[in-house]
Amino acid sequence: MGAEKIYNGSVDLGGVVGDGEGNPESYRLSTLSVDLSLPLPAMTPRIIELCKDLLNEWSELDNSRFSVETVSGGITNLLLKVTVKEESGSCVSVTVRLYGPNTDYVINRDRELQAIKYLSAAGFGAKLLGVFKNGMVQSFIHARTLEPSDMRKPKLAAEIAKQLNKFHKVYIPGSKEPQLWNEILKFYEKASALQFDDTGKQSIYDTISFKEIHNEVLEIKELTSLLNSPVVFAHNDLLSGNIMLNEEEERLYVIDFEYGSYSYRGFDIGNHFNEYAGYDCDYSCYPSKEEQYHFFRHYLKPEKPDEVSQKDLEALYVESNTFMLASHLYWALWALIQARMSPIDFDYLAYFFLRYNEYKKQKEKYCSLARSFLSRSGLGCEPA
């Protein structure tokens, strides 16, 4: 999918990002920052100043031509839509993404910016227009964010699988060392050394056995290492909120690469399946084997899904569902850090228990499945 096509219907300032070969162009930088503690009306003049600083086409326009509104987004960022009535009379919009306070504690922003340039050039996400001290400006995508229930619809599931196949083929310069277990262990180190000002939260936190969690991490790390999951540049956060659909054009957009890194194919897919449960963590919505096989067929052979062998389906089923367990550990530990660091009104401690308890509920079934598969395949002798 070329960059010209992916941005059809979105603002196009400064031409297409990339040269058609996956090589990105530069973007503008600003030293300005925005105070997230301000209410939107007080923040608006600064947002306008920022857009004028980053986008030459708007630098001389009167502030009365700008409007700023909040866009629904994730639980770590504030997303704003800035619309401008240009001299020609046409209205153009961009998205301003403001990083949440303390999110650098769990997100590598340098890695995100490195990746977004190449992913944008390959036709993924919104066009990166500029970067400022605590956020970025991107083209506005005219599409709706998916709901968790959308992801299991056969037609959409097939398209998500095809897009993920393309995503995993994008080349991002830098180390190709998979980061999953490095990051889980970093999360563990941070999560196991927290102190809460709130005594209620501290008493809940004190009930957690970090020795147990560490042992679980090492066990799943060792088991997944036997599966020889391919290393790809993974999205790592493919929830419904990071997938958009323009229904008129029947075009799907994968967005937001904050957690992207070189990682394991099985983790990206297993993590996506966990997200069928939504923010409410209704794991009765976890996809059935039949639904997963439908996804795998379109992921493994997008052009000829019916030609995927039963052997390949079974292998990817085991791989994805074993890494699904790692996904629960990843986000459970992440949630503990957010419980201490994030000012956002979300019960991250409860989210930790939802994820960790689901991990414990599913562990025996899928670990047994993996060990049985490895035994039959002759792969379970020693870590890869």
CATH, residue 366:
3.90.1200.10
Q: Is the whole-model pTM more than 0.75? A: yes
> What pLDDT score was predicted for residue 204?
98
382 belongs to a structural domain: no
> What pLDDT score was predicted for residue 275?
98
14 belongs to a structural domain: no
pLDDT digits (tens, 9 = 90+) for 174-233: 999 999 999 999 999 999 999 999 999 999 999 999 999 999 999 999 999 999 999 999
Task: Give the pLDDT band (50/70/90) at residue 77.
Answer: confident
How many domains is the chain partitioned into structurally?
A: 2
Residue 171 sits in the same domain as residue 136:
no
19 belongs to a structural domain: no
Give residue 57's domain range.
28-140
Indicate the angle between helix axes 180-191 and 310-341, nearest 10 degrees: 30
* 8 Å CB contact between 54 and 68: no
Last residue of a domain, one of 98, 121, 140: 140
Residue 101 sits in the same domain as residue 45:
yes
Residue 242 sits in the same domain as residue 113:
no
pLDDT digits (tens, 9 = 90+) for 231-275: 999 999 999 999 999 999 999 999 999 999 999 999 999 999 999
Residue 119 sits in the same domain as residue 157:
no
Residue 317 sits in the same domain as residue 291:
yes
279 belongs to a structural domain: yes
16 belongs to a structural domain: no
* 8 Å CB contact between 170 and 232: no
* Nearest by Cα to 362 from 210, 220, 160: 220
* Block residue for tokens 């973007």: 27
Q: Collapsing DSSP states into helix, strand and coil, what is residue 128?
A: strand
Last residue of a domain, one of 117, 140, 163: 140
Residue 177 sits in the same domain as residue 116:
no
Name residue 159's amino acid.
E
What span, in angstroms and rounded, lies between the C-alpha atoms of 305 and 241? Answer: 26
Residue 86 sits in the same domain as residue 102:
yes
pLDDT digits (tens, 9 = 90+) for 16-64: 344 444 556 678 999 999 998 899 999 999 999 999 999 999 999 999 9
Residue 95 sits in the same domain as residue 163:
no
6 belongs to a structural domain: no
Indicate the angle between helix axes 348-377 and 210-225, nearest 10 degrees: 30
| Cα dihedral across residues 214, 218, 219, 220: positive or negative | positive
> Which H/E stretch holds residue 16?
none
Last residue of a domain, one of 111, 140, 169: 140
> What pLDDT score was predicted for residue 9?
29
Residue 131 sits in the same domain as residue 151:
no
What span, in angstroms and rounded, lies between the C-alpha atoms of 296 and 320? Answer: 10
Residue 202 sits in the same domain as residue 253:
yes
384 belongs to a structural domain: no
CATH, residue 81:
3.30.200.20
What span, in angstroms and rounded, lies between the C-alpha atoms of 9 and 17? Answer: 15
Residue 130 sits in the same domain as residue 178:
no
Neighbours of 281 (CB within 10 A): 18
Pairing of strands 251-254, 243-246: antiparallel
Residue 172 sits in the same domain as residue 306:
yes
136 belongs to a structural domain: yes
Neighbours of 220 (CB within 10 A): 23
* 8 Å CB contact between 7 and 139: yes
